[in-house]
Amino acid sequence: QVEYMLVSFDHVARRARVLLSAEELVNDLIAMDEEANLGHPSRWHLEFSSYMLEGIPAQPYGSSIAELTSVETSMRLRRRDVLARLRANETICSLTTFPRVGIIQTSPPPSPLFFPFPCNVQQQEYALCASNLASPPCLPSPHPRPPPPPVFRDRNTPSPFIDQIPPGDEEAAIAVKADHIYMDAVGFGSGNCCLQVTLQARNMEEARHIYDQLAVMCPIMMALSAAAPFYRGLVSDVDCRWSINSAACDDRTRQERGLEPLTTCKRRITKSRFDSIDSFLSPGGAQFNDLELPKDEDVHLQLLDAGIDPLLAQHFAHLFIRDPLVMLWEKIHVDDDENEAYHFECIQSTNWQTLRLKLPPPNTSIGWLVEFRPMDVQLTDFENAAYVVFVVLLTRVILSYGLNFLVPLSKVDENITKAQKRNAVLEEMFYFRKDIQAVGGSTRSAADSNADGTASEDEVGILMSINTVINGKVG
């Protein structure tokens, strides 16, 4: 799944701007799909911003080498389909962030200063999502601004660097933080593009195993694919979109963030909607679940009573600690819960974690899926295809050789933080297992612990460079 941006060029003025025509273009592409035969290679969907669209293969790829080598060709065909419908001065780009979004104010307050409302897709679900993230009904107005990314400092950067805010917005003037880039809209996160891979598992057990093993690889792939240092025409001191998206989609109240005592809210919530996973799901991963996991206790008990195992029950009960961002009026009441998953998907689809376990949809032949979500999109089809094929082959190696990457989930979160730092792929060290064949994903045995019963270095991981994680090390 590749997300793209539409860009228009003014060659005389030597300027490039985002092109706000994704809705019209996607409608044309969908009409083309309906007229074409079932073998047409692409399907298109709207994304959050009116300059974004997502292209996916019309049919899932198979597992043969020939299928894997066709991924790049499929991506090229998608690009060709869009280019054929654009003017000569317009193009489609696979950019994680458009470097100068927010430079020119195009609408007056009370819209965001730097990300005007016309940049948001007007489709009902996306419009509601943007509105509710920006001003959640449960929060007092004004909604707290998301924390900004630090600016990259070189010898020409003023000290302190103070971002320039147009006059008239007192709240923005107060929120500006020295040596940081000010961003005041959900679109600065949700308007970024990514590269995702959805993997089909043979059954639920395999899906949960893949989910856990790939969770450890999320920060590694995040650093490898890092492609987002630019925001509002400035160079930031982070290389990935992840923390920007996380902050932009963080609709927790001050009580839920732990900044005030719980009075009107039910629980403290440790992370944004858009963040890393909070629990492993396979039996072998249970011992590495060392993070606080807030749950909706009513949902948790209901799932346990229905025979759902504890690991899966707590996972879904954790998703339900949040309110749905979007609920269409005509679908509030569902007549057939056994054959309609809309209410569940309203929660599932607005928890944007590094991985998503996707249940088989009712009345379809689709099985259990795992969605791998941490990667920034790359500039070329070759690069994007390379990352996709690598992730697919990695899962095949994990399953074929019984590899075990598991470390405590708190270490994975530390790795996520490191992965977003500037030049992390070359300079940071990440927690990873020294012996990836030690246990094969099963529960810990006595041999895996130290003589005094404490966790061995393989259970907590040792610090490695990404080069060592991917390519190994002699000795």
> For the chain, which residues make up each domain, given as ranges?
1-93, 104-166+174-182+194-420
Spatial distance between the Cα atoms of 201 and 197, rounded to a whole number of angstroms = 13
In degrees, rounded to 5, the angle at the alpha carbon of residue 205 between the alpha carbons of residues 200 and 208 is: 70
* Count of CA atoms in the C-beta half-sphere (13 A) of 330: 2
What is the CATH number assigned to the segment(s) 104-166+174-182+194-420?
Answer: 3.30.590
Print burial letters for 390-405: b (CB count within 10 Å at least 16), e (below 16): ebbebbeebbeeebbb
Q: Environment class of residue 421 by beta-carbon count within 10 Å: exposed (0-12), middle (13-18) or buried (19+)?
A: middle
Q: What is the pLDDT of residues 318-353, one digit of tens each?
A: 999 998 888 777 778 877 777 788 889 889 999 999
Average pLDDT, the chain: 86
Residue 342 and residue 197: Cα distance in Å, rounded? 23
User: Parallel, antiparallel, or unpaired: how do β-strands 352-353 and 274-275 relate?
Assistant: parallel
Burial class of residue 383, CB neighbours in 10 A (0-12, 13-18, 19+):
middle
449: how many CB neighbours lie within 10 A of its CB?
14
- Closest of 13, 320, 358, 381 to residue 210, by C-alpha: 358
- In 3D space, the residue among 354, 331, 353 whose CA is nearest the CA of residue 344 turns out to be 331
Ramachandran category for residue 117: left, alpha or beta (phi over 0 → left; psi -120 to 50 → alpha): alpha
Residue range 352-385, pLDDT digits in tens: 999 999 999 888 889 999 999 999 999 999 999 9
pLDDT > 50? residue 139: no
Q: What is the mean pLDDT of residues 428-452?
A: 67
Q: Is 377 exposed, middle or buried, given 0-12, 13-18 or 19+ CB atoms closer than 10 A? A: buried
User: What is the per-residue pLDDT for 130?
Assistant: 59
Task: Provide the pLDDT confidence category of residue 141 given band limits of 50, 70 and 90.
Answer: very low
List, for residues 81-102, the tens digit of each pLDDT value. Answer: 999 999 999 999 999 999 998 8
Is 306:335 a contact under the CB 8 Å cutoff?
A: no
Q: Which of 416, 419, 429 is nearest to 354 (CA)?
A: 416
Q: What is the pLDDT of residue 125?
A: 60
Q: Is the pLDDT of residue 35 over 80?
A: no
pLDDT of residue 337: 74
Q: Which residues pair with 464 in a beta bridge?
A: 430
| Residue among 394, 463, 465 nearest 214 (CA) | 394
